[in-house]
Chains A and B, each alone.
Chain A
Amino acid sequence: MARVGVFVCFCGANIADYLDVPQVVEEVKRIKEVKYAVEYKYMCSDPGQGMIRDAIITHKLTSVVVAACSPRMHEKTFRKALSEAGMNPYLLEVANIREHSSWVHQKDKKAATEKAMDLCRMAVAKSIANEQLHEISVPVTKRALVIGGGIAGIQAALDIADARIPVVLVEKSPSIGGKMAQLDETFPTLDCSQCILTPKMVDVASHPYIELIPYAEVLELEGYVGNYKVKIRKKASYVNFKTCTGCGACWQKCPVKVANEYNMGLDKRRAIYTPFPQAVPNKPVIDAEHCTMLTKGKCGICAKVCEKGSIDYTMQDEIIEREIGAVVVATGYDMWDPKPYEEYGVGRYKDIITSLEFERMVSANGPTNGVPVRPSDGKVPKNVVFIKCIGSRDEAKGIEYCSKICCMYTTKHTILLHHKVHDSHAYVFYMDIRAAGKGYEEFVKKAQVDTGATYLRGRVSKIYKKGDKLMVRGEDAQIGQVVEVEADLVVLATAVIAPKDNPDLARLLGISYDKYGYLSEAHPKLRPVETAKAGIFLAGCTQAPKDIPDTVSQASACAAKVCGLFAGDTMKKDPMISTISNEFCSGCQNCVKVCPYGAIVTDEVPMGHGSKELRTVAKINEGVCQGCGSCVAVCRSMAINLAGFTDPQIINEIVSI
């Protein structure tokens, strides 16, 4: 026989003012299972919890109902109180008489009281069917996978590794460093990007807890939080990294020249190459697409000149597996291709370049040794026009959103231009200046006042060629006049877009992405680094456009999350998950189909006791099940139930009023 205790809360005046609490208690007492009912000012307070603890013991209660605020508020608090009294915490039910009654029916005390009574009846009825539940603990593999070796991936990897947790860092290109390694100086402090990044890159390579796997990609992820297994393809580098010393003889001799991605194709690299001098690891790889030895079987010079004999043209891609407990995705971003801007003559005029190309030009280790030049004739430009929002905030040609960083990097570029070419003049066409950030507005002021960049408010309408100049026409809305700037060089602040292979990655990881291809966080405000899938976290621009400070903070946040996840040897998990009884399961496997997490697998059990014949039944993977209950509703034979929300519990609620 069930013995229920009901504890009704005044919540100060919040509940007591709008419904008649004592009357509720009286009404509840009339339910025959209720052996004890009492009201109190603040049930969540320590004395309040004390009342509950005492009552449990003195009245030998079998379940407890607290009628107070929303369970989303204090369920945990009261569960704690129960377990302190030696009672299974899951024998608690909360009747939400504040959010669902006193606060929303303030003009009708009678109705509110009635409703409160019903809510209590429902809670009581449900609690009668409650069962003892115990937190599930799943073992954890304390190793993290970080996908992407940009600043986000580097930061996350270092922070996790510093907590003595092993990290596997997978980078698709031959070196880590990402976009930040291509930058010259960074806003708003103008400190040298390379100088602050390269030490971190070296740390990654030398860190005892980091396994760096460059020139590789993730193929497959299976398992569940704490117990993932990942397949990684190591692309053939045709160079034996163990023996290679990175002396550079090979790429100095290599006869094949290819456009250099690192310098945005502004100069050439060889077919065997390291992306850039400070590359980590500083070992070359052979670009199989262009190497004549691999394509035509002719050449082989690099093998000849390599003293260590590290070149191996027969090398194949290699698939490796790792056991991991958590994943940090940090695949960064791509730059939008401005080709659709036909009215600007993009693609027809050499002297229209993108901001990343400009960045490479002004960069000390860039193709032009830090001096911006006109690609058409190699002259140093005097008048440079910077155009913002190329692709950003442009539904017609690009994407709707604001790329967030263009305002600032363009400001930086005007200043860099001034530093490199003193007698130059920068014109900036903008729609808005978005300089929200520490020291950002001051930085813009610096550009406008100290270096005298001319800001014109308007979107450029057309660019056409006149002699060797580019005429840039647009409205300056401040004076309401159409202006034309005679430019030597035009720099387009192209939009930040999601990496094009993000959707594929999201599919293989089992996480969701938005219409732009950015990976989706679990909650836009309160869970910005988690994904909806437990144990997978997001760092940097792969989630949305960000500047470096934001990226680094998010990466560290991911690290904190991973460390938290790995705090114990096992992981505690909410017991409110599905359970299947083999007796009733007919093996129709509807549940297998509907489970959003693939948490249900099939299993073979004997037909009957001792019988050799086997039949198929469904089996829940406790670690994976998130407890949505989809399977329960589709189960024809009612073999499945969802702990905490069983059919008896809910039916009790329904019939109780």
Chain B
Amino acid sequence: MSAILLIVVPLLAAFISILFKKASPYILLIVSFASVIVLGYIELEVITIGGFASPYGINLVFDQYSLIGLYIVNTLFFLVVAINCVKFKEMSTILLIALAGLNGLLLTGDLFNLFVFIEISGIAAYLITATNKNPLATFNYLVAGTVGSSLYLVGLIILYAMFGTLNMADMANEIAVSGVDASLVAFPFLLMFIGLGVEAKLLPFNSWVKGILASSNKLTGPIIASVYAATIGFVVGRLLTSVFVFSDTLGLVITIILLASIIAGEAMAFSSNKVREILLFSSIAQAGLVVLVFLQGFIGWGVFLVVANAAGKFILFTVTNHASDELGTDEVNDLKGLFVNNKIVGLAFTVASLSAIGLPVFLGFVVKMNILGDLFAEGNLFIPAVILITSVVEGIYFVRLLIKLWYKEHDLPVVQYDFIIKYVVVILAILIMVFGVYTAPIETEANDLDLISFVEGGNL
């Protein structure tokens, strides 16, 4: 079986489901489930499309790196769909296309093809967020996304003019071979970075995030904050570690942007009184951290940081957004005592937030410790200090939130969770704990990934 089916089958299903409105939720459910299952049966390879070899035709790189990305994204996507497909029937076709776009983002080995998939998944995301009933926020997202992708395109074209290729691996090769001064490629890389930064929620480019996630519902919250964030994380990781070359000034500017993103994100989360806002600003900070980690070249642990974040944010957003959908408010004070009668969901939420803070025995801890260790090993003391200080802030607001949600005497908010939400969040929480304790497979995998060399066509 070829990995291209992961893109094509959802696409075909989407085209077909235009005609069969009634059946479309089931098509969506089946296709998204099948893409998780199928992943186990596909062998790693570089797929050439149309029979034209790599720098000339488009290729898809199905290596260890994209396999992990596909697993996490498809699984989370399926879970989102399983929770929501009944409620959001009219979104089925769009969700199918979004799935195709996300898989395409993870697989593609061509920079222009990446742009096309950014647009596919981006436009699908605009529409998915339209279910928030906040058109202004969606519009803002659309403007930001369009500006970002236009800049990405300009950057890409400048690179094409300089090196004559659009393929990622070939581009990286050409840049290395031609030996041009790094400052010459700084500007196009910056443009592309801005384009990705918009989607990756980095600080000055993320004005859309608040509007979208602060009014998000059970569907949009997890899908934007978890599934999309994971995908973009993987894409940025691949580009940063394999293709982009950041010269001194550019590297410095981008590091400053990322640190600002982390600090401001945590500060903003700290100053918020609404659960969704807390979570969204926290995910801004995490996005900054993810990119920072990839920028330092730690592929393996960057990947698992993305995975840990995605799983955690999925639980957090699903739980809070269900509650705020039901109650019509997401003020922390109105949700006080939410978990007193929903202990199982509450435990899952607690696990997710503790993992986000980096408490031992959870996945987040393993990842954070290894990242810090690697940073120290590079003799970098400033970045770990920033990470640790912001972690304190992050811990404080999460602890505050947790205590408020767990402890209240009377007037408890009444929220019922469906059994499916319960199962999903509990399973994810258990996975977070299991891999927090049984770290051996993760460590081997991370070390394997660190050896990845995309220039030679992926790590097969």
Please indicate whether A and B come from the same complex rather than being unrelated chains: no
Residues in A lying within 8 Å of B, measured CB to CB: none
Residues in B lying within 8 Å of A, measured CB to CB: none
